[in-house]
Amino acid sequence: MELGDYQAQALGKNLRVSWKDCTEIGRFISGDDLEKAETRLQEVIDKSTPVPYTKFDSDVGHRPGQGSGRYPVKAAEAVLDIVHEAAANGEHQGLNPDNLYVQNVVTNQGQEFATPKRHRGRSFKSAHVRVVVEEK
C-alpha cells in the first residue's frame, strides 16, 4: 500500500486478539480525528461505550440506545496501541499531530497458534491490524 505525503501508518502483526473484533473497532473509529478515536477506544476499555457490531453481529446482545454491540477490551487495547504508534510515526515524519485523523483501519486474519499438548492442544487465533492516519 502506497502512502501519500500526508499519511503515516502503523502495523501490528499476529496480535493475539480476535480479528472480527478488530474489524468492528476499525469501523467504529474510521474517520475520527485522533483525539476522538483515542477517547472512544478508552471508553470501550472502561466499558462505558459499546462497539456497535454490524457485520459480525450473529448472537451479539443488544445494548441500550443502539443495536447489537460488545465491549472488546483486549482488542481495543491492542488497536489503541497501534493508533498511538501511527500518531508517533506521523509526528516523526513531520505531520502536525493536532490535524491527524484515522483515515483507514485494515484487519486481516493472522497465524493460528497452537499451545503445547499439556493444554490439550488448544489453538489461538491472531490478527494483523494496520492503522493509517492522514493530515487534514
Query: Residue 71's domain is classified under what CATH number?
Result: 3.90.470.10
Domain of residue 22 covers: 7-135
Instruction: Report if residue 72 sits inside a domain.
Output: yes
In this prediction the pTM is: 0.87
HSE (CB half, 13 Å, CA atoms) of 5?
0
Average pLDDT of the segment spanning 94-106: 93
Among 79-83, 96-100, 113-117, the minimum mean pLDDT is found in 113-117
**Strands 127-135 vs 113-114: parallel, antiparallel or unpaired:** unpaired
Cα–Cα distance for residue pair 48/34, rounded to 1 Å:
19
Q: Is residue 102 part of a domain?
A: yes
> How many helices and strands (H and E) does the chain possess?
3, 7
Kindly tell me if the per-residue pLDDT of 61 is higher than 90.
no
How many structural domains are present in the chain?
1
Per the domain annotation, does 2 fall within a domain? no
